[in-house]
Amino acid sequence: MDKTLVTIARFTDNFEAELAKELLIDQGIQAFLKNAIVHSMLPGIFPGKFDVELQVSEEDAQRAKEILVQHQQSPEIQNLLVSSGAILEGHFQLTSGKHSGKYVEKIRLLQDPIATEAVCGMLAEALEAFEFDTVVGPAYGGIVLAFEVARMLNKTFIFTQRKDGIMTIRSGFDLENVEKAVVIEDVLTTGNSVREVITCLEDRHIEVQAVTGIVDRSGGKAEFGVPFVSLLQMDIPVWEPEECPLCQAGQALTKPGASDKKI
């Protein structure tokens, strides 16, 4: 039986449509272009009616959208991180206890309201395809991001925090009409904090629709059982202290930031 095709993007330029199609094919997703021939024969005629439509099977639609969002926004978010001085190089001890030669200091980005607004716009765009009531951000890095995205999308906002070592929703929030949520994190390495947030929400019978974040340091390995869209993937090596080549080279160790977050 033939698979049902759905349109996941529209283009007014054949070349851009072809690039998007090839990107998906390179990722193992069958993709097709509708109206490409008509558009090439009648460029600019009846805009919107004969736009080139990028189509994939219904079962591949969500993954394809995630790939396109990340591909489109990666250069811009990378430029913002670099220009804000948020990508640090050295010898760092992460809050997980592991060591790394690079560290993403999201505070450098978040202290700039204009850059933060731009990032939140990208996160909001990545979430537009999902249906949800509220945007959830774990303390502390996710609070600003989740609040601003909720404002942009006209949704409610809540945040979670640890109490006695257990992730919980901050007391005082009205959850009566909250049924579906998305979770926003800043930087993810193992994704343990996000999993704690998901468990916390599910315990309150709130269904998590998607997870998004600024940087995925896991190299695409983080899994949450729901769609996950990051603005930028960075495959940054991490080591156990006893296996760290930077320790063996005698390079001074820095422990940036301070939180209870398990990354």
pLDDT of 38 above 50:
no
Mean pLDDT of the chain: 84
Contact 168, 161 (CB under 8 A): yes
Per-residue model confidence as pLDDT tens digits over 57-107: 988 887 787 777 766 666 778 788 888 888 888 999 987 788 999 888 888
Residues linked to residue 34 through DSSP beta bridges, in sequence order: 53
Neighbours of 214 (CB within 10 A): 27
Neighbours of 22 (CB within 10 A): 11
Confidence of residue 50 (pLDDT cuts 50, 70, 90): low
What's residue 2's pLDDT? 59
Contact 187, 104 (CB under 8 A): yes
Q: What is the rounded distance in angstroms from the CA atom of residue 65 to the CA atom of residue 68?
A: 5
What's residue 160's pLDDT? 95
Q: Which of 47-61, 143-157, 188-202, 245-259 has the lowest mean pLDDT?
A: 47-61
Domains of the chain: 5-60 (no CATH), 84-248 (3.40.50.2020)
